[in-house]
A and B are shown apart, each in its own frame.
Chain A
Amino acid sequence: MDLEQFRRIQSRRKFFRDCAGGIGTIALAQMLEQDARAAAVEQNPLAPRKAHFPAKAKNIIFMFMEGGPSQIDLFDPKPELQKWHGKPLPAELTKDLRLAFTKPNAAVLGSPRIFTPHGQSGTEFSDFIPNIGSCADDLCLVRSMFTDAFNHHPGQLMLFGGSIQVGRPTMGAWTLYGLGSESQNLPGFVVLSSGVGTSGGTSNWSSGYLPSTYQGVVFRSAGDPVLYLSNPPGVTREMQRAELDVLKDLNEEHYTNTGDMEIASRISSYELGFRMQMAAPELLDFSKESPETLAMYGVNEDPTKQFATNCLLARRMVERGVRFVMLNHASWDDHTDLNRKLKTHCDVADKPTGALIKDLKQRGLLENTLVVWGGEFGRTPMCEIRNPRDANNAGRDHHPLAYSLFMAGGGIKGGTVVGKTDDLCMNVVEDKVHVHDLQATLLHCLGLDHTRLTVHHMGRDFRLTDVEGKVVQKMLA
């Protein structure tokens, strides 16, 4: 079934939920006509679908570093800034510049970080992220990102929804809409979070005006991993199963009275829900992971514990067919006290990130898993001082005009650097990559043409890349 056909079926609003023939459908099929069953499978909005063209990547792990990590202190060395340290930038560089908090004439803040080349490729990374640096030959570092928004929520909406408007479908939802889910027991689009909440919150994983079937399912770090996954108190698994059996029998009875195919769909949903109840604990059970693996991620130690757990979960999810894992970590929004805070963030994120990439690689999963690591924008070369009475608390403001992020895996060319910024990291001077271009490229790796992945809404076709976006060939393997 191609996407167009799929969309037409969707517009008839028949949302069958069975994942390619679960228990529910098989049992029910005995009483349904053959063609009706075929329809049930065909009309399942989560059934795996063929891409527009052969794909390099099957899954995406988007490691969203909320708040805007400082590219100047992590990815894009700018020795020239030292010369300007404490002085304002040349006026022609900052003409018409509008920043969130900082005035264009603010003093420059040089970076005290030490950058060293890594791997065969010799890509330079900061001393705060040695583990990420050690993956250099698998990474495509993009130093020429830019975006349209200089505030968090609009920037995040731009990155995930392609527009600063609230209410659009987001990247994970588009992916699921385009390709369906490979997992029979787990949601196709999962959200993992650590640190504090993000500015965008649920709007970053919303299905917008795609059906809510495609919205991200939050895996929680405390309590039930998925909301309402555990049985209520006193209800054993055996009892839950017995209830589902009687529920199915009664629903089938009602189907014979009404002939409504939606009932078949509902039975399947209950069965998939039950399978999730079984599968999620297995997913979360790390007892079969080797001590080396756990140590590599830093699962059992501070301060990596929480983030490492999510990284390992992300690997286990793609192993089990989850299509899109969104791994949020908040917040890198260091307006003040940058040097100290950035060290803290890197101590949390560097080791597990490096481990995830290496682990995916050693298991052969990196070939068809695309990993993205980055924020909604970068940070300014100028310093922001909120409290003039404390000279050591300098930070950096939001910088939408030039920032860095990196990718690895499915379809991406490792050991490369794309783009260049000027000596002061004010603007991109080579190979500008807008977030729409990034989105187009990610979809391309998944085998999707961003101009053809559309949904009709309010009188027109909408897409993730709005009306822009081009695939960045230099990123591709």
Chain B
Amino acid sequence: MGAMLRLGILGGTFVCLTAFVPLRAADVALPPAATAKIEFARDIEPLLAKRCYACHGPQQQMSGLRLDQNDAALKGGAAGKDIVPGKSADSRLIHRVAGVDNKFMPPMGAHLTAAEVGLLRAWIDQGVEWTARAPHWSFQKIQRPAPPAVRNTKWARNAIDNFILARLDKEGIAPSPEAPKLTLLRRVSLDITGLPPTPEQVRDFMGDARPDAYERMVDRLLDSPHYGEKWARYWLDLARYADSDGYEKDRARPWAWRYRHWVIDALNRDLPFDQFTTQQLAGDLLPQRNLDTLVATGFNRNTLTNREGGTDPEQFRDEQVLDRAATLGTVWMGLTVGCAQCHNHKYDPISQKEFYQLTAYFNTQEEVNVQAPLPGELGPYLTAKPEFDLKKQALLAEYKIPENLVDYEAKLRDSALHPGTHDDWDFAYGEFTHTVDNARKVLFLDPAKRTELQRNAMLDVFLGSCGNLYGKEYCDALKIAELRTKLSELNAKLPPVSYAPVLIENDTPPKTYIHVKGDWRERGDEVQPGTLAVLPPMPARETGRLGLARWLVSPEHPLTSRVAVNRLWQEVFGRGIVFTSEDFGTQGDRPTHPELLDWLASEYIQRGWSTKQMIRLMVTSAAYRQSSKARPELAAKDPDNLLLARQSRLRLPAELIRDESLYAAGLLDLRIGGRSVRPPQPKGVAELSYNGSVKWEESTGPDRYRRGLYILFQRTVPYPQLMSFDAPSASLSCSRRERTDTPLQALNLMNDPVFFEASQALAFRIMREASGGFRQRLNHAFAITLAREPSQREAERLGKFFDETSRRLTANPQTVPALFPNQLEGVPQAEAAAWVELSRVLLNLDEFITRD
């Protein structure tokens, strides 16, 4: 009667009764025990951690059962022993996970698979081996494993391949052959620059017979300034970059682009990742700080801002601080530290206190916009400024603004100090706090000590909303509308100077407290800045945010390099070695190639954190260069291509689909960096914003054709094409985009005027650049769009389509001018229109929007 229950600590009649009822395990077919020798750390501990610890782990022990410690697990819970060593069929743990009597553990989420139950059974049958718990793999020191020896030494091109091939050897799978040269060229061009090769580049590459022609091309691509544009995108996803505040008001952030510009530039000059890190987290504190490193701190200015009337600014400042700590976890450590906002992390060794220690680094920061002139701006500005100041002062004096402003500020201060005395003042004060940055602080600052930006903000808020406080009649009497017109005329004459949103240390820093149950209003203990106990300690000489940044990129840190290099891998292979690139904790996926990940992580550090070198290493590997053709024999064995016995086909991200279409059309504006743009979008999109307050003023000229990453990202009403193709919403850090496939995407590419214009321009280009018959032109069209020649079948099918279309257009000539409004010498307009239709087909091909 090994299945007899022992009396648990509860005792009592009910338990006594049940205690003598044998479990009916024998009646139920349990999944068979696994036959292999069980290794606790490898086979069991991760399973328990993932599925059981939330309720039976360090944080809580439901029914008194604790499964993360040997003794406690063997002792069992309130109802007695749950594990009977040597007898898995009699162990309640097994009954529960197998669903005996239809009672399942865990109660939420998927049931354990038969294989998982089998592992647990084998573990119990083999005597409940419990090796001292090794730290979770990602917390362990990064090793530098030697690349394993492989039989097929000719295949491997660099160390990456040894790791990949060794694993394939083990599974008895041969790698795929190298992709055709042209496929490879298009693949690597898209992966490095986000643009396909031009017909000239195709010709050059095909004509280059040198053995290292491919590597030379990779180097050329890495040197292209478009590299920075392509690779900025994934980092901007992580940085939750947007051009507006988010939330109801969603006010524009006209200078957000300065940070984006910094990222593109930093990537292009291959700023080593350790400096890339320290500048973004602590560019204001570096000994060698300058305007550039200050602009880098814009990373954390991308948090959302809530300016909705009636909200408490402190609540949303607090949200920003928590988001900065959570984002630090996701971006640099692949840890979901934000899960510890309300309680200790349920799965990973992160206490609630530690989370708030991390927030303490960010709680002392203050948002400011600093003057950050662009090249050429400062001279004209400084020359004109003195005269401008005099004129402005005179104008303000003429309208008696200074004395009125004094009264206005006094009333606001009164409301701040004595709320509830004057309702109308309170309303005006509330609105004031949402209009001016750091409003309360500025209000109480001696006007002589205010920066020019702060002085202007106070003036603007007075001119813009003094009616809130005094009523409309008062403002009318001051002739404020008239003054505002004159001021804007005056401002227009001053040569502009640019600003940048940055973060600096607050000179009156608030204290940081644990939020009880995550509620910002419930203050718990005060905490000091600090990191996670599970990770190597920060050296004593390091302090503050700069110390935090340096600690992250110290060679001892087990996470930063692994997490960073995994994301580079994700960009070029479509999926990380750790699939959950945002979560390296116990709930994340384990690496498919742990040794390779470690080797790459150590290589990154050894190569001085050079991102370009790591990308070069990856894209020149034989693994990368394989064909992406599906292998039916692997469909069942490796459906997700985890073993990399081939490359993967990847649908291009939203921005690149648009870029590629405009590029093929010859429309894409290739200037690097700069302000955000508003390409045409249908009426009614921006109007969905709160009160229709977002105005989408279409960009003109070449700005309409800038690359997708420059499209102004308005958080509440983002550009539709970006959203249909899975761009993230920029509300939280995003480490991994989805790749969906929807009918709205089809409608978008078929019918959006932007893509239709691209088809028209592509037709125009084909007509102009290729002379001769249909086949010559088709060849050129294929070279532009797909970097290859059409097959015979393709040419025939398209030829048939072209003839049909031409016939149709001849029969319905009235549709021709709408399709092709231009006149080209020597080309009948109907023929050109047929080419527009054919171009639409090419730009909608699966192959065109996919990296093969």
Binding site for B on A (CB under 8 A): 4, 7-8, 12-13, 15-17, 98-101, 103, 105-106, 150-154, 165-167, 187, 193, 196-203, 206, 208, 211-213, 215, 217-218, 220-224, 226-236, 238-240, 242-243, 246-247, 249-251, 253-254, 257-263, 265-267, 269-270, 272-274, 276-277, 331, 385-389, 397-398, 451-452, 454, 456, 458-461
B685, A15: Cβ atoms closer than 8 Å: no
Who on chain A is nearest to B519 by CB?
A: A148
A201, B716: Cβ atoms closer than 8 Å: yes
Please, how many angstroms separate the alpha-carbon atoms of A226 and B632 in the complex?
39
A273, B746: Cβ atoms closer than 8 Å: yes
In the complex, which residues of chain B have a beta carbon less than 8 angstroms from the beta carbon of A215?
A: 723
Q: Looking at the complex, which one of A221, A253, A456 makes contact with B793 (CB distance below 8 Å)?
A: A253
In the complex, which residues of chain A have a beta carbon less than 8 angstroms from the beta carbon of B109?
A: 4, 454, 456, 461
A227-B744, A269-B741 known; A198-B690 Cβ under 8 A: yes
Interface presence of B651 (CB below 8 A): yes
Closest 7 CB pairs of A and B: A100-B310, A234-B818, A259-B630, A273-B746, A459-B587, A201-B716, A199-B248
Tell me the minimal C-beta distance from B34 to chain A in angstroms: 21
A100-B310, A197-B691 known; A238-B845 Cβ under 8 A: no
Q: Looking at the complex, which one of B110, B304, B424, B808 makes contact with A8 (CB distance below 8 Å)?
A: B110
A13-B738, A212-B723 known; A202-B717 Cβ under 8 A: yes
Interface presence of B293 (CB below 8 A): no
Interface presence of B682 (CB below 8 A): yes
A202-B717, A253-B794 known; A152-B248 Cβ under 8 A: yes
A247, B738: Cβ atoms closer than 8 Å: no
A196, B419: Cβ atoms closer than 8 Å: no
Ordered by A's residue number, 12 sampled pairs between the chains whose C-beta atoms are within 8 Å are A152-B308, A193-B688, A202-B723, A239-B815, A243-B841, A260-B628, A262-B850, A266-B746, A386-B427, A452-B108, A458-B583, A459-B587
In the complex, which residues of chain B have a beta carbon less than 8 angstroms from the beta carbon of A461?
A: 108-109
Interface presence of B805 (CB below 8 A): yes
A262, B752: Cβ atoms closer than 8 Å: no
B729, A167: Cβ atoms closer than 8 Å: yes
Tell me the minimal C-beta distance from B831 to chain A in angstroms: 14
Please, how many angstroms separate the alpha-carbon atoms of A243 and B639 in the complex?
32
B818, A223: Cβ atoms closer than 8 Å: no
Interface presence of B426 (CB below 8 A): yes
Interface centre among A4, A196, A206, A224 (most CB of B within 10 A): A196
A7, B720: Cβ atoms closer than 8 Å: no
Tell me the minimal C-beta distance from B628 to chain A in angstroms: 7
Q: How many residues of B contact A (CB 8 A)?
A: 108
In the complex, which residues of chain B have a beta carbon less than 8 angstroms from the beta carbon of A224?
A: 682
B732, A269: Cβ atoms closer than 8 Å: no
Please, how many angstroms separate the alpha-carbon atoms of A187 and B732 in the complex?
27
Interface presence of B742 (CB below 8 A): yes
Please, how many angstroms separate the alpha-carbon atoms of A44 and B819 in the complex?
35
Q: Looking at the complex, which one of B724, B748, B797, B812 makes contact with A249 (CB distance below 8 Å)?
A: B797
Q: Looking at the complex, which one of A17, A153, A223, A242 makes contact with B684 (CB distance below 8 Å)?
A: A223
Who on chain A is nearest to B759 by CB?
A: A232
A150-B310, A263-B846 known; A258-B649 Cβ under 8 A: yes
Within 8 A of A (CB), among B153-186: none
Interface presence of B479 (CB below 8 A): no
B419, A276: Cβ atoms closer than 8 Å: no
Interface centre among B348, B791, B847 (most CB of A within 10 A): B847
In the complex, which residues of chain B have a beta carbon less than 8 angstroms from the beta carbon of A272?
A: 743, 746
B845, A234: Cβ atoms closer than 8 Å: no
Q: Looking at the complex, which one of A203, A250, A269, A387 makes contact with B841 (CB distance below 8 Å)?
A: A250
A387, B690: Cβ atoms closer than 8 Å: no
Interface presence of B198 (CB below 8 A): no
Who on chain A is nearest to B111 by CB?
A: A4
Please, how many angstroms separate the alpha-carbon atoms of A298 and B529 in the complex?
62
In the complex, which residues of chain A have a beta carbon less than 8 angstroms from the beta carbon of B628?
A: 258, 260
Who on chain B is nearest to A255 by CB?
A: B846
Q: Looking at the complex, which one of B110, B629, B718, B732 makes contact with A258 (CB distance below 8 Å)?
A: B629
Please, how many angstroms separate the alpha-carbon atoms of A7 and B840 in the complex?
36
B815, A236: Cβ atoms closer than 8 Å: yes
Please, how many angstroms separate the alpha-carbon atoms of A254 and B424 in the complex?
68
Tell me the minimal C-beta distance from B768 to chain A in angstroms: 20
A198-B690, A202-B718 known; A250-B797 Cβ under 8 A: yes
Who on chain A is nearest to B842 by CB?
A: A250
Within 8 A of A (CB), among B241-256: 246-248, 250
